[in-house]
Structure 1
Amino acid sequence: MTAGEKAKRLLRAALAAAALSAFAAPAVAAQFPPRRAELFDPPPLVALFDVVRVPTRAPLDNPDFAVADATPVALLLDIELRAEPVKPDPLDLAWSLQPEEKRDLALALEAWTTSGGAALGPERHRLRAALAAAYAARDLAPFWIENGEWRASARAALARLALAADDGLDLRAYAAPDAEMAAPTAADELALSEAIAAYALQARGARIDPERISGLVGAKTTLPDPALAVAEVAGAGANAGDALQAYNPTHYGYQQLREKLIELRTQRASAPASDGLYAAAAGNVTQSDVLPPASKSKRRRAAGLAKASTSRVEAEIIANMERWRWLPRDLGEERVEVNIPDFELAVVRNGEVTHRTRVIVGKEATPTPIFSNALQYLIVNPYWNVPPSILNKEMLPKANGDVAAIAASGFNVSYRGGKLVVRQPPGERNALGRIKFMFPNDFSVYLHDTPSRNLFSASHRAFSHGCMRVDAPFAFAEAVLGPGSGWSESRVRRLIGGSERYINLAKPLPIHIEYFTAYVDEGGRIVLRPDLYGYSARVRKALGLGA
């Protein structure tokens, strides 16, 4: 077949297609609505050319000549075609030149980001939109598939996703593909990216906003960018599983709970839990994110604890693991940790507990806030500025509204801007005792001494209005100021007098006010503490673990 014959055939096909479309287009359009052809469907090849007709003989100019039927003019003429390309649509041309793998991914992205509707939820739609933007930014290059097969990073990440429950995560809503799949598709690529992004977000605490548990939970969670998380894990190659796991807390206390969760689940599958796995919900073991000391383990068991359901204990462990996600990633090599349900405080230096003491925390009605900050200075012989809540709800009613009676009991009374201000001067009767430890915060709470030192002998030490009272406060002062500061316990005591004396720390010391009702003691057993403020129950409920 000559070039001219090929051109004629091409023209006939084009004319026939045009005639057919004139009659069939409305019906076809009604049956198949548009699919955004301007973005995804490459145009027919003939549409890329402009056909110029060149007659090969004189035109039919006889006025008496008439065409008896509607035979296409192309069948009546011997036409030589000269095809001249015109400038194509850059988007259509670029689309037609894309590798099949990219075109498949683009079509899958279009369906993936628009499917699900309201049932998928706004957060899931936002997640998919962010990932779609990430794919667009990398010119539709897959993260996980290469030459029709899973990359090593995909297999490693899928192995970690299969163990998500070990970290108390719940990815049941995200169907990860099969790591052994011989020919993963574009849909599998997207499913893996979404599951990895969801894992990273959950591992950093996205499932619960701490402020929704209580307005007194000032802990903050810093969530990762899902697209950057996927890119980071994919870029880790064969170590992608470790990179994904690293989104969970790396704190030692968290790792202990994780190991215990795995252990309990293994034992539940084989035999009933032994009461030797549990420590008592009372006693003097405290939680700190440090290696356990080499001292002999304290053996304690509560009478009813051995009867606790293993699944109930697992739920409590997961709830506490979730609260570890609220803490800063870096607690500080030197720091103070206060665990409210444990009623204890620990000073940590170089990864070891150098000081431990009992504390009194807020009552159930006046909880101690949960947050992280930094100790900055100490005040010996502090004034106590009576908070308005205590003044209005306790002092004034007790004095029958008699301000003079309050002044007669040793308080300084004045008016500022028309408001009553009451201060208690330094002294033995001062509610703050002889020393307080300052870490300015939004909750106006701090650590301090107390004249009611007998309360430290109680096992349940929730007696304050929110601040934390410290047992042996001058020994704690020496521990906080640190070795080499020149401030021994005895030197700090010598400042006791009638006026306030300030001691600044050489550098701010991180302090973390925590709420852990479950941890692993130095004997490898789970310690369960009472849920003093009900926060753990709220976390369990928010995670779908029951209240």
Structure 2
Amino acid sequence: MKSGVQEHLAFFAAILIIAWLLLCFFSSSSMASDISENVRERIRQRMEYTGGNAVTAAAETIYSSVALPRFYEQRGYSPAWLQSGAPSSNCQALVRAIGTAGDHGLNPSEYHLDKIVDLLNEVAANQKAKKALNPGRLADLEFLLSDSFLIYGAHLLGGKVNPETIEPDWTAGKREADLPALLAEALKTNDVEKALKSLAPQDVAYRSMQDLLKQLRAAAPQPSVRLVQTAPSFKLGYRGPQTAALRARLAAAGFLGQDSEQDKEVFNESLEAALKKFQASWGLEADGVCGPATLHAVNRSEKDNIAAIRANLERWRWMPQNLGDRHILVNIADFHLAVVENGEELLAMKAIVGKLYRKTPVFSGRLTYLVISPYWDVPPSIARKDKLPLMQKDPNYFTANHFLVYQGWGADSREIDPASVDWKALGPNNFPYRLRQKPGPGNALGRIKFMFPNKHNVYIHDTPSHDLFAKSQRNFSSGCIRIQDPIGLAEYLLKDAPGWNREAIEDAVDNKIEKTVSLSRPIPVHIMYFTAFGDTRGAVHFRNDIYGRDARLLEALDSLARN
């Protein structure tokens, strides 16, 4: 009997415990639901009643003024970063992701990082003290977290700086993504870090620069090495204190090991060999002579290199989303053209780019045809500014250089005799003629031109001035890209075209009759400007900033204004 009573008492006690637990559970769920609903109302109210003013959260401006409202409207203003009425694990994942912004040359503090951490700590302290969570502060946290993801994501995707605000001729295609949709999916799958990482360029060149940036920042501070001063005939055989400074800087940069020379002021063979290696790594003429361009490169500090990498990581974020499985890449600052197929550089050659006052623009296009033995239709500005003065100095200039002169344009134009014109009476604002140069050895376009129609009227072509390719800095053109091996490029482009092997191309050139050949497979062309860039082997190379663009970009990159 006693045992039966005990069993009944135990049964009722268990029922009471279960009921209490269920009551606690539903009470807790109800509280969490109440908190989430209160936060939802705060979000909705702020979105609907801004009065045209910028939305703020915890005294910080919310910058994603279009994407963030759309994100919350699509979810009925319900909180995105709360779970059971409290911050979810996605919050810490976002904090970790923002903490890596420095690896992209960006500043983590510009993405609300400090304020987000403060709010998360505040919420954790209230939870520990069993204080009620403030819906207004949770709404602040919501806005800051979502804005951080959307703005940081936008900067990884397309750059922090709008290129056209500092480089009007930078018109390469932009990378795009639906960031609110990406954020919603990342929160659903708990993949916030992975989602942000996917927005950055995935190219080996970009990752190589990231790796070097991390190495330079993590390296222990090195003892300062004095700058190398200029010297006359600063080459093999020179003796002076400048040599000791050069030796020290090349050793610090890893280009010079121990040598047997006791007198550090003597410019010996081992120093010359080290200097040539250094010059080659910078794309300079590897002549072993420490001239002005080499001095500038040698005296670069790690701080300068970090700045250059940051600037060029940003430029990579300006690149088109898909370069193409096969494409042509021209780096203006490197005076270099490469044909890339499936990530492998199949063809490379030297290039000549625009002068300082006729800079080659940055843009992307599609090469659709090439012209063998082309005529050169002289752009009006070049005819007025360059060719007219030459004709005024030498009355035979046009005839000697195989220029045809036309009066008028279009169907009504007619060829005239250059000798019939009083050239000295004309000027840059009074030049009613069109110039056309015949095909041949002296033609400014050389043997072949490669066309990718664009608003800049820029294209790739040969040149009769092949001696210029021997120079290390090759900005001599009027904006177009002249290349060292046009026959090789044509052979690659026509490799699948019946009847167009190298011999056929050379025969067509020798005929000196203009011939247009369309490509069965157009190829993307990307004309870019990189003063630091990685290669497929993971190495990073630096080049002189020939157009003086880095400083302006870095100033914009370090501005607190978001884009």
Of residues 309, 316, 319, the one that matches 1:317 is: 309
Instruction: Describe the SS at the equivalent of 1:400.
Output: helix
Q: CA deviation at 1:489?
A: 2.0
> Residue 206 of structure 2 aligns to which amino acid in structure 1?
Y
Equivalent residue runs for 1:378-389 within 5 Å? 378-389=370-381
Cα pair distance change 1:409/1:477, threshold 3 Å: closer
Is 1:498 the counterpart of 2:435? The answer is no
2:386 and 2:152 map into 1 onto residues whose CA distance is 49
Cα pair distance change 1:355/1:129, threshold 3 Å: closer
Q: Deviations over 1:374-399 (max 9, x none)?
A: 11111111000011111100111222
Equivalent residue runs for 1:232-247 within 5 Å? 232-237=185-190, 239-247=191-199
Q: Relative to structure 2, which stretch is displaced further, 265-274 or 160-169?
A: 265-274
Of residues 409, 421, 424, the one that matches 2:437 is: 424
Residue aligning to 1:41:
none
Is 1:138 the counterpart of 2:71? The answer is no
Q: CA deviation at 1:162?
A: 1.4
1:129 and 1:382 map into 2 onto residues whose CA distance is 50
1:446 and 1:348 map into 2 onto residues whose CA distance is 18
Residue aligning to 2:280:
283
1:452 and 1:213 map into 2 onto residues whose CA distance is 33
Is 1:251 the counterpart of 2:203? The answer is yes
Cα pair distance change 1:410/1:124, threshold 3 Å: farther
Structure showing the higher helix proportion among its residues: 2
Cα pair distance change 1:253/1:406, threshold 3 Å: same
Q: Deviations over 1:293-343 (max 9, x none)?
A: xxxxxx999565454322221111010000001111111111111111111
Q: CA deviation at 1:166?
A: 1.0
Q: CA deviation at 1:259?
A: 1.1
1:277 and 1:523 map into 2 onto residues whose CA distance is 18
Q: CA deviation at 1:168?
A: 1.4
Equivalent residue runs for 1:47-196 within 5 Å? 99-108=34-43, 110-111=45-46, 114=50, 127-128=64-65, 130-176=67-113, 177-178=116-117, 182=124, 185-196=138-149
Structure 2, unaligned runs of 5 or more: 1-32, 128-132, 226-251, 257-274, 414-431
Cα pair distance change 1:256/1:347, threshold 3 Å: same
> Residue 253 of structure 2 aligns to which amino acid in structure 1?
D
Q: CA deviation at 1:522?
A: 6.7
Q: Deviations over 1:258-277 (max 9, x none)?
A: 11111111114688794128
1:342 and 1:150 map into 2 onto residues whose CA distance is 49
Instruction: Describe the SS at the equivalent of 2:454.
Output: coil
Of residues 339, 362, 366, the one that matches 2:354 is: 362
Aligned residues: percent identity? 34
Of residues 511, 516, 523, the one that matches 1:509 is: 523
1:139 and 1:545 map into 2 onto residues whose CA distance is 35
Asked if the contact 2:81–2:142 (Cα under 8 Å) also holds between the matched residues in 1, the reply is yes
Instruction: Describe the SS at the equivalent of 1:531.
Output: coil
Asked if the contact 2:201–2:316 (Cα under 8 Å) also holds between the matched residues in 1, the reply is yes
Q: Which has the larger radius of gyration?
A: 1
1:102 and 1:357 map into 2 onto residues whose CA distance is 64
Is 1:203 the counterpart of 2:138? The answer is no
Is 1:328 the counterpart of 2:306? The answer is no
Cα pair distance change 1:345/1:545, threshold 3 Å: farther
Asked if the contact 1:153–1:235 (Cα under 8 Å) also holds between the matched residues in 2, the reply is no
Asked if the contact 2:255–2:278 (Cα under 8 Å) also holds between the matched residues in 1, the reply is no
Cα pair distance change 1:410/1:444, threshold 3 Å: same
Q: Deviations over 1:216-251 (max 9, x none)?
A: 2222434545433432432341x2201111111111
Is 1:221 the counterpart of 2:174? The answer is yes
Cα pair distance change 1:350/1:390, threshold 3 Å: same
Cα pair distance change 1:464/1:133, threshold 3 Å: closer
2:536 and 2:67 map into 1 onto residues whose CA distance is 44
1:303 and 1:523 map into 2 onto residues whose CA distance is 27
Q: Deviations over 1:334-392 (max 9, x none)?
A: 11111111111111122211111111111111111111111111111100001111110
Asked if the contact 1:433–1:451 (Cα under 8 Å) also holds between the matched residues in 2, the reply is yes
1:186 and 1:156 map into 2 onto residues whose CA distance is 19
Asked if the contact 2:159–2:315 (Cα under 8 Å) also holds between the matched residues in 1, the reply is no
Q: CA deviation at 1:420?
A: 1.4
Is 1:260 the counterpart of 2:257? The answer is no
Q: TM-score, normalised by structure 1?
A: 0.72
Cα pair distance change 1:308/1:383, threshold 3 Å: same
Q: Relative to structure 2, which stretch is displaced further, 348-357 or 269-278?
A: 269-278
Equivalent residue runs for 1:341-352 within 5 Å? 341-352=333-344
Of residues 462, 472, 494, the one that matches 1:449 is: 462
Equivalent residue runs for 1:455-474 within 5 Å? 455-474=468-487
1:354 and 1:300 map into 2 onto residues whose CA distance is 32
Asked if the contact 1:399–1:406 (Cα under 8 Å) also holds between the matched residues in 2, the reply is yes
Residue aligning to 1:391:
383
Cα pair distance change 1:277/1:103, threshold 3 Å: farther
Q: Relative to structure 2, which stretch is displaced further, 143-152 or 439-448?
A: 143-152
Instruction: Describe the SS at the equivalent of 1:155.
Output: helix
Q: Deviations over 1:144-183 (max 9, x none)?
A: 2110333343332221111111111224233232367635
> Residue 458 of structure 1 aligns to which amino acid in structure 2?
K
Q: Relative to structure 2, which stretch is displaced further, 168-177 or 303-312?
A: 303-312
Asked if the contact 1:341–1:532 (Cα under 8 Å) also holds between the matched residues in 2, the reply is yes
Q: CA deviation at 1:411?
A: 1.1
Q: Relative to structure 2, which stretch is displaced further, 477-486 or 428-437?
A: 477-486
Residue aligning to 1:531:
545
Instruction: Describe the SS at the equivalent of 1:373.
Output: strand
Residue aligning to 1:36:
none
Cα pair distance change 1:369/1:450, threshold 3 Å: same
> Residue 385 of structure 1 aligns to which amino acid in structure 2?
D
Instruction: Describe the SS at the equivalent of 1:345.
Output: strand
> Residue 331 of structure 2 aligns to which amino acid in structure 1?
N
Q: CA deviation at 1:499?
A: 1.6
Asked if the contact 1:205–1:326 (Cα under 8 Å) also holds between the matched residues in 2, the reply is yes
> Residue 406 of structure 2 aligns to which amino acid in structure 1?
S
> Residue 517 of structure 1 aligns to which amino acid in structure 2?
T
Q: TM-score, normalised by structure 2?
A: 0.70
Residue aligning to 2:300:
308
Asked if the contact 2:36–2:82 (Cα under 8 Å) also holds between the matched residues in 1, the reply is no
> Residue 528 of structure 1 aligns to which amino acid in structure 2?
F
> Residue 313 of structure 1 aligns to which amino acid in structure 2?
N
Q: Deviations over 1:34-89 (max 9, x none)?
A: xxxxxxxxxxxxxxxxxxxxxxxxxxxxxxxxxxxxxxxxxxxxxxxxxxxxxxxx
2:218 and 2:380 map into 1 onto residues whose CA distance is 53
1:101 and 1:323 map into 2 onto residues whose CA distance is 42
What is the RMSD of the two structures over their aligned residues, measured on CA atoms?
3.6
Q: CA deviation at 1:118?
A: 7.1
Q: CA deviation at 1:126?
A: 6.1
Structure 1, unaligned runs of 5 or more: 1-97, 287-298
Could you say which structure has the greater relative contact order, defined with CA pairs below 8 angstroms and 6 or more residues apart? 2
Asked if the contact 2:449–2:461 (Cα under 8 Å) also holds between the matched residues in 1, the reply is yes
